[in-house]
Every structure is written in structure tokens, then in C-alpha cells.
Chains A and B, each alone.
Chain A
Amino acid sequence: MKIAFQLAYKNLMGAGLRTWLNAGVLSFAFVVIIFYNGLIDGWNQQASIDGVNWEYGNGHLLNNDYDAFDSFSIEDGHGILPEDQLENLTPILINQATIYPQGRMMSAQLKGIDAKQTVIKIPTQLLLSSEAEIPALIGERMASSTNLKVGDNLLVRWRDKNGTYDAANVSIIGIFDTNVPTVDGGQIWIPIEKLWNMTGLNQHATMFIANDNYISTDVSGWRFESKEYLLKELTTLINVKKISGSIIYILLMAIGLLAIFDTQVLSVFRRQKEIGTYIALGMTRSQVVRLFTVEGSMYSVFAAILGGIYGIPILWYLAHNGIGFPVSGDTIGVIMSERMYPIYGLGLILGSVFLIVISATIVSFLPARKIAKMNPVEALKGKIS
């Protein structure tokens, strides 16, 4: 086996440019696989952290009639939670509203939240210190779509619990910046006590955000969705991107492996005399097959080394400085920061090396099988059998 490696190494080095071309293409596929998967893993991790910090907390306790994906359920999807169940929970009441920024009409959600909360990062403490009649917080996406800035008054129209219209100005006292579009676009955050007064829905909540000390118990009329459950959808969505992105490196790998396959076919054809000589000198056919297979799979080892030489600095740089994405996440409705930082796990790197070495070995073995059927005398003569 040692001889096989030595011979393979010498043969490859002797082939010069051809070897490095094959290894180069394969190394590129190698770097792209690690980069792309690292990017998706980085996105997933960042999105999970942001999702928990800004929206999910330790999970949501939702009114059974409320469905976050059905805005028509807002009207009836609220209720009063028994007082003994309120511990470790931050109430949120949602009400549909119409806003009129600069005379335009837009629909929005008024979200009343306990201003003393610390479970999510929305800076609700600002609401506590404000002296405005109805202080409100909005996110940057909302601010840019409505042209609102801190200090502006915004006319809001809503309906109370009986369906009667009411309207008032809310004062924008703060604009927060978040990667989580689901707490930002089309939403106005106000103190829950104000919303209770405005709608007459005293003590009502649409949902609660649990903190880390919350222990879920069965509450009639309410359902608990854990942090993991809420994140599952996001993770699934991001992993779909992983699959759809794999087409790029499958293509790259196919090109690299095809190059190895071609080289092997050519080698078996052109080096018949060499094969005959090996057998004449006492090597078994399978030893010769192994030699050629090792030679082929060694391309992948070279590719890993070559990929490492130029890939490590590039990937390291990207992991530290991130990659800017001009498309913001709210256009596709998922949590996505403007700069993404790839994460390269050991499993990812070893997995990629394993994948490429195995595939290179398989494509090297396939043409080499022909050697086993060769007649050594014919091979020595260089005749095609």
C-alpha cells in the first residue's frame, strides 16, 4: 500500500500542470461547499439568537383563537389569563388599526406591551419615561415606510371592543433597529395599559412572551409554543436554502470529478505498457487497480491542501468581517441581518473532506476496473484489448 501511495504521488507530480488543474477545480468546489454551508449555518445561528432576543423569548403562550398567520383572527383572538398564571409572562395585546402618515392610509397593528418587560430587546423602557399622551415605538422598517421620525405625531384610527371607531394621535418616542421583520414592519408598540383604555379590553392579551423561568402548564383556552417550536420553522426555511444552494457546488464538484474521471480513463489507455510491466514484475491486478485508484483519489487530497492554502485566509477573513447583503430580510420575511458571518464547524469541514475524497475515489476506481480484465502480455505489447 505504501508503494501504491509513493508511486501515485510520483506519477501525479510527474504529470505537472494536469494534476494541478484537476486539483484546482476540485479545491474550488471544496472551498465553495464549506463557504456556502458555513454561511447558512452562520445565518441560522444569528437568526435564532435574534429571533429569541427580539420576538420569541422562551416561547409564546397564545390565545387559542389567535393565529399569527391570520390577521382576521386578531379581532377575537384574545382573552384574560387567570392571575395565578401570569408569573414570568409578558402580555401583548394586538389590535388592528389604520394609520395616516402624511395623509396616506395604511393598515397597521397596534401592539400593547408591558413597558416594564425585559424579556425581549424592544426598548419599551422608553415608554415608561415618556410624558406623551400615547407614546409609541416603531422599528426602522416601519419608520422608513411611513417616513416617520422620533418626535412625530401619527394619527391612528382603531376600533374598540364594540367595533366603534376611535382615533387619536400617538407620539413616536423611539425607533429601534432590529433584524427581525416580524416585530417591526407595520407595527406600533405602545404601553398595554393605554391599549386597554383605548379598546376597553381591560386585562386582555392576545399572547404572552415567556421568560427563562417560565414552566409551561396546561391553561384552558391558551396554547404554549416553545422557543424550539417557534424556531423550527425558521430553521427549516433556512435549511431549504441549503438544499437549493447545493446545486452550485454539485455542479462544481461534477466538473472536478469529471476531470478526474477523464484523466483516469486516459491513464489506463495510455499507460498499458506500464500496467503490463507492473504485473510482469509481480504485482497482482488488484494491486495495480489500487495503485490507479489511489492516484485518482490523491487528487482530492491535493485539492484539500490547495483549497486550504487559499481557502483558509479567505474564509477566515469572511468569518471575521462578514458579508454585506443588500437585500434586507423583510423582503423575504425572514430574520436576516445586513451582514452575515459564516460559521465553519469541524463537522462541516471534515464532512466536506470526506465527501470529496470518497467521490474522487469512486470516480477513480470506475475506469481502473478495466485493468483487472487486461491480458498482461497484450498490455505489455501496448495493444488495446
Chain B
Amino acid sequence: MKKILIAILAPVLFTSMVNFPDAGEIIKKVDENMTAKTQVIESKMIIYGKRNTREVESKGYSEGNTKSFTEYLAPEREKGTKMLKLEDKLWIYSPETDRTIQLSGHMLKQSVMGSDLSYEDMMETRKLTEMYDAKVIGEEVIDGRETWILELNAKVEDVSYDKRKIWVDQERYVPLKEELFAKSGQLLKKTVLSEVKKIGNRWYPMAINYKDMLKDGKGTDFILLSIKFDEKIPDYIFSKASLKK
């Protein structure tokens, strides 16, 4: 009887004895890698549709999580389209019509150019530590890299995803995989981050695949062509005047 009890309890005891690092510390380090005061990004978005694949190139500037400016560079049809986000307001300028349209905060929840990303997903730069309570629930090896598996539960009300699960590189503190869940526990989106490079004193993934798990398809690839952190961005960039320049 004793042996059976030991056999049953041993794995439980063993797991509880594994010394996982503090989850709060991990996501703090993740935040340090992933967020910056300002970012200037040149990127390519590959949107896999049912019939065709589209590529959209853009250059984006962001400051904190309230200011963001994006200019589309390619394809020809989207070239010159500019988006400015200040707080929860979004303006889109279309060169074809030479007009600027203002969209309400609700529009931020729509898909960007038919991709699996919403404007909010693209602009969400709030720190994980501000939004979630984290705990380490296990370890896994992804593409040869040891990762911690973290479960994040929302601690504030105004978050898009109630629960997240992230796989964080144990050495570089960069998420390599992320799963986003609905309140009901339904898996909504999956993100795979790869091509982690050292930029300055931080590690950053240069390729991200976003996949809406409720939808068929291969999702959307977001490839960073270049990224600069904490550069001084002139104030005029985040003004409505820059939309028509």
C-alpha cells in the first residue's frame, strides 16, 4: 500500500519540487526585450488568403502605446496610405482620394488589410506586467531552445485576451510561441515568433506568424526588415499634418 501511495504521489511531489523561476521576473525581462519607448519598424506582411497571397510593406513609428504612425510602401495599390493612431483614435489617409478619414476606437478591432491581425494587435505595446498575473507551468524545447511555459491571467479588465500562454526562451527571454484565449477558454490566436536576433542589448524576433485559430488558412506572416529602438522620433510624425505629406 505504501509503495502504491509513493508511486502515485512521487510525480506530484517531484513536480512541485521543481524550482521554477519567478514568473513575474520572466515577463518583466520579456517586457524589457519586447517593449521600448519608441520603435521604428520597416516590415513586410505576408497575408495568406484562400486564393492568393498578398504582400504589404510598411514603415511604422510608435511611441509608447498611444502614438503610432504607419506608412504603406508596397504594393502599388496601397502605396502612400498612411495611418495615424493617437490614443484610441485612428486616422487613415488614402492618396487615391486625397482624404483623411477618422475611425472610432471600434475600428481598431478590425482586421488590418484582410490579415489575421487587428489594428489593436499591431499597436498593442502595453507591457505584459501591467496587464497580467503570470505563473510558470512547465518547460518545453522549441526548435532546440529551452523555454518556460507561462500562463498569464488578466489582472485588469480592459484587455483583449483574458488568458495567454507564452513560451519564453530561457536564455534570451524572448517569447517563441504564444497562445491567446477567450474568456471561455477557447483558443483564439496563435503566434509563432522566430529568427531571434540581437539588436543592441536586447533580443528580438524578426519573424512572427499570426494565426486566427478559428479560421482556416495559414495565417499572416509579419517579417521585420529593420527595427530601431528608442530613437528620437520628431513630434510632427504623430500629427495629422504628416498624413498628407
Q: Does A75 count as interface, using CB distance less than 8 angstroms?
A: yes
A105 to B189, CA, bound (A): 13
B154 lies within 8 A of A100 (CB):
no
Q: Does B109 count as interface, using CB distance less than 8 angstroms?
A: yes
Residues of chain A contacted by B158 (CB below 8 angstroms): 162-164
A165 lies within 8 A of B215 (CB):
no
B215 lies within 8 A of A103 (CB):
yes
* Contact of A168 (CB < 8 Å), options: B107, B154, B184: B184
B144-172: which have CB < 8 Å to A? 154, 157-162
A166 to B107, CA, bound (A): 18
A162 to B154, CA, bound (A): 12
Most buried by B among A104, A157, A164, A168: A164
B162 lies within 8 A of A164 (CB):
yes
Residues of chain A contacted by B215 (CB below 8 angstroms): 100, 103-105
Q: Assuming A104-B216, A162-B157, is B106 touching A167 (CB within 8 A)?
A: no
Residues of chain B contacted by A104 (CB below 8 angstroms): 215-216
* Contact of A164 (CB < 8 Å), options: B103, B106, B107, B161: B161
Residues of chain A contacted by B212 (CB below 8 angstroms): 105
Q: Does B206 count as interface, using CB distance less than 8 angstroms?
A: no
B188 lies within 8 A of A167 (CB):
yes
* Contact of B160 (CB < 8 Å), options: A75, A155, A164, A168: A164
Residues of chain B contacted by A100 (CB below 8 angstroms): 214-215
A103 lies within 8 A of B182 (CB):
no
A136-175: which have CB < 8 Å to B? 155, 157, 159-160, 162-168
A165 lies within 8 A of B106 (CB):
no
Q: How far does the Cβ of A34 sit from chain B's closest Cβ, in whole Å?
A: 47
A164 lies within 8 A of B214 (CB):
no
B98-113: which have CB < 8 Å to A? 103-107, 109
Q: Does B66 count as interface, using CB distance less than 8 angstroms?
A: no
B104 lies within 8 A of A72 (CB):
yes
Q: How far does the Cβ of B130 sit from chain A's closest Cβ, in whole Å?
A: 15
* A160 closest partner in B (C-beta): B183
* B187 closest partner in A (C-beta): A167
* Contact of B183 (CB < 8 Å), options: A96, A103, A165: A165
* A161 closest partner in B (C-beta): B157
A165 lies within 8 A of B161 (CB):
yes
Q: Does B186 count as interface, using CB distance less than 8 angstroms?
A: yes
A157 to B188, CA, bound (A): 9
A157 lies within 8 A of B182 (CB):
yes
Q: How far does the Cβ of B8 sit from chain A's closest Cβ, in whole Å?
A: 35
A105 lies within 8 A of B214 (CB):
yes
A96 to B216, CA, bound (A): 21
Q: Assuming A165-B183, A167-B186, A167-B188, is B216 touching A103 (CB within 8 A)?
A: yes
* Contact of A166 (CB < 8 Å), options: B103, B106, B184, B216: B184
Q: Assuming A105-B214, A162-B158, A165-B162, is B182 touching A72 (CB within 8 A)?
A: no
| Shortest Cβ-Cβ A-B pairs, 5 listed | A103-B216, A167-B186, A167-B182, A166-B183, A162-B157
Q: Known A-B contacts: A165-B162, A166-B183. Give 14 more (CB < 8 A).
A: A72-B106, A75-B106, A98-B214, A103-B214, A104-B215, A104-B216, A155-B214, A162-B159, A163-B159, A164-B160, A164-B183, A165-B180, A167-B182, A168-B182
What is the interface of chain B, defined by CB distance below 8 A to chain A?
A: 103-107, 109, 154, 157-162, 180, 182-184, 186, 188, 212, 214-217
Q: List 19 A-B contacts (CB under 8 A).
A: A72-B103, A72-B104, A72-B107, A100-B214, A103-B215, A103-B216, A104-B216, A157-B188, A162-B159, A163-B159, A164-B159, A165-B160, A165-B162, A165-B180, A166-B182, A166-B186, A167-B184, A167-B214, A168-B182
